[in-house]
Structure 1
Amino acid sequence: MTSADSIKKMREIATCSICMNLMTHPVSIKCGHSYCHLCILDFYNKLRLMQPTLKILDCPLCRGPFDMKSLRHNRELENIIEVIEEMEKMDHEMVCEEHGEKLHLFCEEEGQLICWRCERAAQHKGHATALVEDVFQGYKEKLQCAVTKLSQLQEECVIQMLFVKTQIADWKELIEMQRQKVKSEFKNLQTFLHEEEKCYLWRLEKEEEQMLRRMRDSEAKVEQKSNELESHILKLEAKCQGSVQNLLQDVKQTLSKSLAVKLETPENIALEIHTTCNVSELYFDVKKALRCHQVSVTLDPSTAHSDLFLSEDRRQVTRGYSQENLESSSKRFTAFPCVLGSEGFTSGRHFFEVDVGEGTDWDLGVCRENVQRGTDMKQEPEFGFWTIRLCKENKYVALTSPLTSLHLSEQPLVVGVFIDYEAGLVSFYNMSTGSHIFTFPKASFSDTLLPFFQVYQHSPLFLPIPD
């Protein structure tokens, strides 16, 4: 390795990655990297302008965390830098690696520094060349113009960042106003409206998260572009402050990259809330609100226990004596007189009605598609069941663990079952009066949910056709 190569290698090690010059009063941080003392202070102050409470910073090179209290004066590196500067004074002019001659000429076609012997070589034959002193000022002015352009772009970038931050603040304020409005309107309503409130607030929160995610992505892109511009500017400024040879080295490529930089305008996201509800309409017609989500449910004969008989249209089920020669099915309930609906739910809000009439016993609700169907079946949410039951002597219970007693003022002749898949809610209503019966604690659904029915003697169940 030549003396010039050694000096170059040492300079690279001792160069500050912020200002791209030999370090002045070098300091080391927690991760071991070193920077000029003034550069790291300036880096800290710029970040504090955007985040006043910032205490922990990320290393510009490795992103390792550090605080300003961890700065340590690197005396050994400072001594090495002094040696480098002394060596460069002794050999301050770059020389041609091939011929060992001083690089006094600049080849316009190649955009390279060359010596007088390179000029006469075949590689540069016929090329326009000039003394470095003659072209230095012109290229320096071009580089300074590039710095000016990039600085203007960075200023625009800062304005765009402020715009995005303002959008985020305005959006969060609108969301909060809408949240307070929803809360105040639901405050004095009955249990049904309370459950509706939770559903709407959940959807509003999801909408807020989705919109904030879009705007924060936009903010991150602008911030990244700002950092790239700042780094580019620092490199160009360092090049302008360096030696003649350093400035002209690869200058055309540098200018080309600088002039190609463009700024994209961040997405202007409309701050419009889509999650809205008319509370007064819900309050005055609960049944109408539920039936907006009504689906047609029929019974699945391949799941029916052998004691159950289905009508031809598969909308009525009664319990009788065990049937022989039934078609074999892995879906069939074998231990208890149960049957499932054919229609499954994997997302959204759904409602169906069950005409229980004046039956003395019944179980109904929803269950996961993959529940146990033999003697191991346990009708609890933990095992994939969300159901309520009418026991003898008109006792109503929710099949939670332990059971939850339900005190109903009137006997329901038609029971409504409401599912909000994303919100994890299963609710039951007396459709004779439009009153709420019970809502299971919030669950997290991931499998298909199916309508579930357990049928007892002299208590047939009927599924009305939706209006």
Structure 2
Amino acid sequence: MASATAFKKMRVEASCSICLELMTEPVSINCGHSFCRRCIEDILENPQETSSLREPQCPLCQAPFQRESLRSNKQLINIIQTIKEIDSERLCLEHGEQLRMFCEDDGQLICLLCEHSPQHRGHRMALVEDVYPGYKEKLQEIVTKLKAAQDRCKRLKLDKKDEITQWEENIELRRQEIKSEFRNLHNFLDEEERAYLWRLEKEKERLMARLLEGEASLVKKTFELESLILELEKKCQKSAQNLLQGVKDTLKRHSDVKLEIPEVLSLDPQTVCNVSELYCDVRKMLKRYQVSVTLDPDTAHRELILSEERRRVTRGSPQEKHFCLGGFYVFACVLGCEGFTSGRHYFEVDVGVGSGWDLGVCWKNVQKIWDINLEPQSGFWAIRLCHKKGYMALTSPPTSLILKERPRLVGVLLDYEAGLVSFYNMTTGSHIFTFPRASFSGTLRPYFQVNHCSSLFLPPPLQ
């Protein structure tokens, strides 16, 4: 009881006589009385009008004082802090006593009466004052570890930003190198340039996505670490009872925090174009993608005659053959057996001296029975030799082609991912035509049409 009385008296002494609350930033004046800094400064700024004195007066003893006499009362600050800590002390919910003991086995604050209860009998006990420094030290060790991880995470995040910038610069540098080289090439190389730049852009997007994912992961981890550090620092500033409440669970949850370092990615673009090699030997470049193509008899029009090895097709008299649902009925066409769903593929067609033919690629399931326009909208990407109109690309409308030399061997290059179909005069090694970029999503097959007195031959690739 005497202790409670002494504490009550100490609380009265630490209270401000102006606001009647525990003093905030207590300061003393000339007469020795202390008040909240804000309360006494209000008196300095708003002196009473009834006062006949020019100087403000102490609210307790009416002694005059000046602003210069205000002095921080550090001793009173410590007393007020002690009072607040006593106020915040937890009490045992069961016995109403102060929690002065710590059960090591249960990680729980208990009072002296709880120590002898059956629930804690035989458990390891210690005074709060004895275990508080050790647990505080353990928490501070975790804070130090988390701060180190946070610093490393921030450094890695900055490094990742630098990598992203460097990657963009490398991509731009490589793009400029490719574009500068391609300006000096022939028409067919213009399409090669676009194809390589498209691949480079796709490569950029793929790796950029991974880099940004790594950065986002580091940003998220930074926020998590900041939150954990703030939580633990706040806990370390609490009283012994508050710090020890649930401390083992806190240690268990936060002691094994690990920083996952993003994978280190190569920032050297893999899309490389040797323009001089392409320029010097177009044939060599194209033949890297050459495939063997044979003719599919199940798709052939009834007026087409296929050789035994199925590499030559000739237009002749109608043949007696059963109607095939997969065959062409209106046009004298035939498809290659091979189907393409990705990658680059090149094949050659010996057109000889025939007066009329179509060749290129088309969708696997194009309309074969009815009369349709042979154009990209219908699933055909082909060029044509017509006896009256000469060479043309079957665009919509058709595009006339002016060729300096008559091709005997025509090359067809399909770049599936880039959406390009290109044709080359392999007699001279020159570019003929490239269709505007398309979006392919199914199977493409070689396509051929033969007019009367013409034939087409598919030479096998040289080994």
Query: TM-score per shorter chain, which class?
Result: 0.7 to 0.9
Structure-1 separation of matches of 2:421 and 2:271: 21
Q: 1:314 to 1:390 in 2, by over 3 A?
A: same
- Are residue 434 (structure 1) and residue 429 (structure 2) matched? yes
Where do 5+ consecutive residues of structure 2 fail to align?
1-83
Structure 1 residue 313: Cα displacement: 0.3
**Could you tell me which amino acid in structure 2 is paired with residue 353 of structure 1?**
E
- Mapped contact 1:371–1:377 kept (Cα < 8 A): no
Q: Name the count of aligned residue pairs.
A: 379
In the alignment, does 2:210 pair up with 1:229?
no
1:280 aligns with 2:276: yes
Larger radius of gyration: 2
Deviations 1:274-318 (A, max 9, x none): 211221111111122111111110001111111111111000111
Contact 2:360 2:448 in 1 (8 A): yes
Q: How far apart, CA to CA, are the structure 2 residues paired with 1:441 and 1:230?
A: 53
Structure 1 position 304 matched with structure 2 position 300? yes
C-alpha displacement at 1:242, in angstroms?
2.7
1:465–1:394 CA distance, 2 compared to 1 (3 A)? farther
Task: Give the 5 Å matches for 1:124-135.
Answer: 124-135=120-131
* Maintained 8 Å contact 2:360/2:447: yes
Query: What letter is aligned with 1:307?
Result: E
Instruction: Call closer, same or farther: CA 1:376–1:236 in 2, change over 3 Å.
Output: farther
Cross-structure match for 2:119? 123
> Which one-letter code corresponds to 1:173 in the other structure?
E
> 1 CA distance for matches of 2:265 and 2:299?
50
Give the superposition deviation at 1:394. Answer: 5.4
Q: How many angstroms apart in 1 are the aligned matches of 2:213 and 2:171?
A: 19
**CA distance in 2 between partners of 1:381 and 1:420 (Å):** 15
8 A contact 1:333–1:339 mirrored in 2: yes
In structure 2, how many angstroms separate the alpha carbons of the residues matched to 1:243 and 1:270?
Answer: 51
Indicate if the aligned counterparts of 2:359 and 2:447 stay in contact, CA closer than 8 A.
Answer: yes
- Return 5+ residue gaps in structure 1 as ranges: 1-87
1:396 is the counterpart of 2:391: yes
SS at match of 1:366: strand
Call closer, same or farther: CA 1:93–1:451 in 2, change over 3 Å.
same
Q: Is the 8 A contact 2:302 2:321 kept in 1?
A: no
1:406-425 matches, within 5 Å, as 406-425=401-420
The letter for the 1-side match of 2:376 is P
Amino acid of the residue matched to residue 291 of structure 1?
Answer: K
Kindly tell me: are residues 271 and 195 of structure 1, through their superposed partners in 2, closer, same or farther at Cα, counting changes over 3 Å? Answer: same
Note if 1:387 corresponds to 2:377.
no
Where 2:88 maps in the other structure, the secondary structure is coil
After superposition, the Cα gap between the structure-2 partners of 1:391 and 1:252, relative to the gap in structure 1 and judged at 3 Å, is same
Shift of 1:412: 1.1
Aligned residue among 362, 368, 376 for 1:373: 368
Tell me if 1:105 matches 2:101.
yes
Percent identity of equivalent pairs: 60
Task: Tell me which amino acid in the other structure corresponds to 2:105.
Answer: E
Alpha-carbon separation, structure 2, partners of 1:138 and 1:89: 20
Asked if structure 2 preserves the Cα contact closer than 8 Å seen for 1:346 and 1:447, the reply is yes
Pair 98,387 (structure 1): closer, same or farther in 2 beyond 3 Å: farther
The answer for the alignment partner of 1:258 in structure 2 is 254
Q: Equivalents in 2 of 1:121, 1:321: separation in Å?
A: 111
Contact persistence 2:85–2:239 (CA under 8 A) = no
Report if aligned partners of 1:360, 1:394 keep a CA contact under 8 Å in 2.
no
- AA paired with 1:402? P
- In structure 1, distance between residues paired with 2:374 and 2:224: 60
RMSD: 1.9
